[in-house]
Structure 1
Amino acid sequence: MGSFMGHAVPGTLFLLIGVWHVWCSLVRQVLNPKFFQVRVWNPVPGYNGKLKYLELYVISAGAFLDMCIELLYSPHFNYFVDGVLNPTHMNDFEHGGMLLMFFVYGVVMLLSEKTSLFPLPDGALCFVAATAFCAEFLLFFFHSTTHRGLEGHYHLILVLLVALCIFSVIAGALVPNNFAIDLSIGISMTLQGLWFYQTAFSLYGPSMPYGCKLAENKVVCNSENHEVRGMLLANFQLYSLVFGVMIAVVSSYGFAVKKYGQLGIRSYRGYG
Structure 2
Amino acid sequence: MYMIRKQEYDLETYPFEPNDFLFYFRSLYHDRGLKAFYQLFNRTRRRPYSRGLIARFAPTGIGLEIGVGARTICPTTRTVLSDGYSEHGVANSIGKVFFMGDEIPYKDETFSFVLSEHVLEHIANPIKMLKEWIRVLKKNGHVFLFLPHKERTFDRFRKITTLEHLISDYENDISFDDQGHLKEWWQDIVEKGLMPDHYKHIGKQDVTGTGSIHHHVWTEKEIAELLEYVELKVVLIDPKVHDRRDTFVVVGRKI
TM-score between both structures, scaled by the size of structure 2: 0.25
More strand by share: 2
| Greater C-alpha radius of gyration | 1
More helix by share: 1
Name the structure, 1 or 2, with higher relative contact order (CA <8 Å, separation 6+). 1
